[in-house]
Amino acid sequence: MKQMIRYRLKADRVAENEGFARAVYDELHRLRPPGLHYATFRLDDGVSFVHIVSHEAADGSNALTALPAFKAFVAGIRDRCEEPPVSTQLHEIGSYGFFGD
């Protein structure tokens, strides 16, 4: 499954959000779950974020959402946001090296 999540933060919560995101990446680098590809981007306005995730597990599990650091990240996301997260399924036409090809 491939999806994009976007949201806009309250300006005074950007650093906090980035700290939570970095903790997720620290845990991912330590655990290296197979079949998971994940990226987070801050947009030019400084308060909007986009996350792109691709996960392929035979049992349908999602290694990202199982991480304690990710659970901490999402626990307060709505309080940090001006516009809450919106998730969109991505239907790949093609990519090059983006999802670990």
Per-residue pLDDT tens for 48-65? 999 999 988 777 788 999
Sequence-separated (6 or more) residues with CB below 8 Å from residue 39: 51, 52, 53
Flag whether 31 is in a domain: yes
Q: Measuring CA to CA, how many Å separate 69 from each of 11, 31, 41, 101?
A: 22, 12, 18, 26
Tell the burial category of 44 from Cβ atoms under 10 Å away from its Cβ (0-12, 13-18, 19+). exposed
Higher-pLDDT residue of 30, 55:
30
DSSP bridge pairs for 38: 53
Over residues 70-101, the pLDDT tens digits come to 999 999 999 999 999 999 999 989 888 776 65
Q: Is residue 48 part of a domain?
A: yes
Residue 57 or 18, more confident: 18
Contact 86, 7 (CB under 8 A): yes
Domain range for 56? 2-89
- Read off the CATH number of the domain in which 65 is found: 3.30.70.100
Higher pLDDT, 45 or 63: 45
